[in-house]
Amino acid sequence: MLKITNNQTIELDKIKKLDYDKFYSSVVELLNKKENHCVNYFAYPIKDEFQFFIAIADDKNHDIVILSHQLNQDDKKELKSLTEKIFSLHIFEREIYENYGIKFIGHPWLKPVRYPSNRANKTNINDYPFYTIKSNELHEVGVGPIHAGIIEPGHFRFICNGENVLHLEIQLGWQHRGIEQLFLEKKNHLQRNILAENIAGDTVIGHTTAFAQTLESLANFNVSEQLHLERALALELERIAIHTGDIGALCVDAAYHLGANVFGILRTAIINFIQAWCGNRFGKSLIRLGGSNFPFTKELRNELFEVLKSYEKKFEEMARITYRLTSIQNRFELIGTITEKQARIIGTVGLSARMANVLRDVRETHPNIAFQKYPVNPVVLKTGDVMARFVAKKREIRKSISWIRDLLNNFKFKENIEKPNYSLKLKPQHFSISLCEGWRGEICHCAITDKDGALTYYKVKDPSLHNWKVLELSLRNVEISDFPINNKSYNLSYCGNDL
């Protein structure tokens, strides 16, 4: 079995093409182990043939297993579904079916994922096959795709018995922009870099880091340790900012406006620092291929110390009030509970997994250079309800702050850093994979080059792709009025899912 580590590139020829039965049994065997989970599974089209790649992360041995099989031109476009045995692959099989029309026999529900324009099946989004239950006692409530707030479009369909939700179906795809296709169409690395920034507006640093790592590894281009650390620093700042915003947003949904305002103000302090660093509050233009335009100077270092000091003081004060407020506890506890078993079956990643006692954190299990040098120990909670997510966000913020302090105190940042390099030459016929722990969870980018060294396939996976199912499940037998706080507690990405 071919094992590689995170951010490693290998020749395409080295990946052995198994026949499907062998592929099937190996995948089932691997994924039945607790420490393994699938990080990406996709079909790479070569004319009329398809090469399937599956990347399975082994959290114990800190490596990634790559398996592959090929569907030849004359083969029937039908395969036995892996979802029957390993449920967490359901979304990947649906995606492959949607894009290339390859049927998976035995898949419980092969419905489309996002309705891209180049999909195999040309039916309209209006003909979406929704799940229905026929009964006089039940009623359906449809929410979206146009929302009352400022969030992105997505359609939620509840089947309710009175106030209780029996089933929630989430239909996404409204934000589809064809990102993966655009990566291939844009030949300039700078354009691709900017494209990566725009995969999901709230995970700019996460996605751009994964992108930069993928292409740098594909070009065999080594960047300095300081650059890695600066990227990790930005990643942690993003985590602090978004988690703080989420805590505030959860307070809004619980109608606790005092907390909402204070946490909103605190979030601004952090994103304003990111703006002072790179000119954009969300960190756009901060992370560039092969270098950086914005070195982390001494002044920035001092300013960050100040910002964190005042942030931490206010945050702890407000957190003490908010987390001890009985009405908040009353509102959040025992709602939307996900058991560890459920989380494992779905293949949840990131914070949504860690709050249900499943340790999945790329920073710990597949660290890049930055996190090898300055390790984090992840927050893991047991209860799996809204309160657990609420608490997990607070604890992760604390961990990130102490990680940043540790870094700032122990690493001597040099004033100059290498400039970005957009003329990286990619190695021909190679496959590269990069994992990065964004604030939402594990981000996975995969790239394949052809014999001239041009990108022929680029695959992006946002953690939301795994995690939307968790939201559906946590709504089972929960009151419909608890949907907003559940949704906000996960804060999943619509555009990251839709690409």
Partner 1 sequence: MISVFLIIISSVFFVGIISKVKAKIAARKMPSIIQPFYDIIRLFKKGAVYSSTTSFIFKIAPLVYFSTVLMATLFMPIGSQNSILSFDGDFLFFAYLLALGKFLMIIAAMDTGSGFEGMGANREALYSILIEPAFFILIGSLALFTDITSFQSLFVNLQDSTNISYFIGIFYIYVFVNIAMVENSRMPIDDPKTHLELTMIHEVMVLDYSGFDLGLINIASWLKFSIYGALISNFLINQSFVWYWQIIEFIGIQITFAVLVGILESFTARNKMGKNPQWIIILSAISIVIFLTGLIITQKIILN
> Which residue from 25, 330, 402, 477 is in contact with partner 1, where contact means CB under 8 A?
330
CB of 354 to partner 1, least distance (A): 24
Integer Cα distance of 163 and 180 in angstroms: 40
Integer Cα distance of 450 and 149 in angstroms: 44
Binding part of the chain for partner 1, among 61-69, 186-194, 214-222, 248-256 by CB under 8 A, reads 248-256
Q: Is residue 390 within the footprint of partner 1 (CB under 8 A)?
A: no
CB of 288 to partner 1, least distance (A): 38
Integer Cα distance of 170 and 471 in angstroms: 9
Q: Is residue 479 within the footprint of partner 1 (CB under 8 A)?
A: yes
CB of 471 to partner 1, least distance (A): 14
User: Do residues 122 and 137 make contact, with C-beta atoms less than 8 angstroms apart?
Assistant: no
Q: Is residue 331 within the footprint of partner 1 (CB under 8 A)?
A: yes
CB of 318 to partner 1, least distance (A): 11
> Which residue from 14, 33, 77, 139 is in contact with partner 1, where contact means CB under 8 A?
139
Identity of the residue, 231 or 331, whose beta carbon is nearer to partner 1 in the bound complex: 331
Identity of the residue, 3 or 257, whose beta carbon is nearer to partner 1 in the bound complex: 257
In the DSSP assignment, the letter for residue 14 is G
Binding part of the chain for partner 1, among 84-92, 258-266, 343-351, 354-362 by CB under 8 A, reads 258-266
Where does residue 247 fall: left (phi above 0), alpha (psi -120 to 50 degrees), or beta otherwise? Answer: alpha
> Which residue from 16, 257, 309, 425 is in contact with partner 1, where contact means CB under 8 A?
257
Q: In the chain, what is the straight-line distance between the N-terminal and C-terminal CA atoms, in Å?
A: 31
DSSP string for residues in 63-97: EEEEEEEEE-TTS-SEEE-STTT-GGGHHHHHHHH
- Give the tokens for residue 390: 């609420």
Identity of the residue, 146 or 451, whose beta carbon is nearer to partner 1 in the bound complex: 146
Residue count at the site for partner 1 (CB under 8 A)? 32
Identity of the residue, 82 or 386, whose beta carbon is nearer to partner 1 in the bound complex: 386
Q: Is residue 76 within the footprint of partner 1 (CB under 8 A)?
A: no
Identity of the residue, 29 or 140, whose beta carbon is nearer to partner 1 in the bound complex: 140
CB of 480 to partner 1, least distance (A): 5
Q: Interface mask (CB under 8 A) for partner 1, residues 262-281, using x and -?
A: x--x----------------
DSSP string for residues in 443-459: EEEEEEE-TTS-EEEEE
Window 145 to 184, contacts with partner 1 (CB under 8 A): 148-149, 162-163
Q: Is residue 256 within the footprint of partner 1 (CB under 8 A)?
A: yes
Give me the residue label for tokens 């960050």.
304
DSSP string for residues in 217-267: HHTT-PPPHHHHHHHHHHHHHHHHHHHHHHHHHHHHHTT-HHHHHHHHHHH
Q: Is residue 133 within the footprint of partner 1 (CB under 8 A)?
A: no
Integer Cα distance of 213 and 444 in angstroms: 11
Q: Is residue 140 within the footprint of partner 1 (CB under 8 A)?
A: yes
Integer Cα distance of 216 and 210 in angstroms: 10
Q: Is residue 319 within the footprint of partner 1 (CB under 8 A)?
A: no
Q: Is residue 143 within the footprint of partner 1 (CB under 8 A)?
A: yes
* Amino acid type, 78: E
Q: Is residue 468 within the footprint of partner 1 (CB under 8 A)?
A: no
Identity of the residue, 152 or 216, whose beta carbon is nearer to partner 1 in the bound complex: 152
Q: Is residue 385 within the footprint of partner 1 (CB under 8 A)?
A: no
Identity of the residue, 48 or 140, whose beta carbon is nearer to partner 1 in the bound complex: 140
- Give the tokens for residue 496: 């990251």
Identity of the residue, 156 or 273, whose beta carbon is nearer to partner 1 in the bound complex: 156
Where does residue 178 fall: left (phi above 0), alpha (psi -120 to 50 degrees), or beta otherwise? Answer: left
> Which residue from 273, 296, 483, 490 is in contact with partner 1, where contact means CB under 8 A?
483
User: Do residues 115 and 64 make contact, with C-beta atoms less than 8 angstroms apart?
Assistant: no
Helix axis angle for 483-490 and 225-253, nearest 10°, is 170
Angle, CA of 289, 290 and 296, to the nearest 5°: 95
Identity of the residue, 394 or 445, whose beta carbon is nearer to partner 1 in the bound complex: 394
Integer Cα distance of 271 and 248 in angstroms: 15
Q: Is residue 254 within the footprint of partner 1 (CB under 8 A)?
A: yes
Q: Is residue 246 within the footprint of partner 1 (CB under 8 A)?
A: no
In three-state secondary structure terms, 45 is strand
CB of 143 to partner 1, least distance (A): 7
**Residues at the interface with partner 1 (CB under 8 A):** 139-143, 148-149, 162-163, 251, 253-258, 260-262, 265, 325, 327-328, 330-331, 335, 479-484
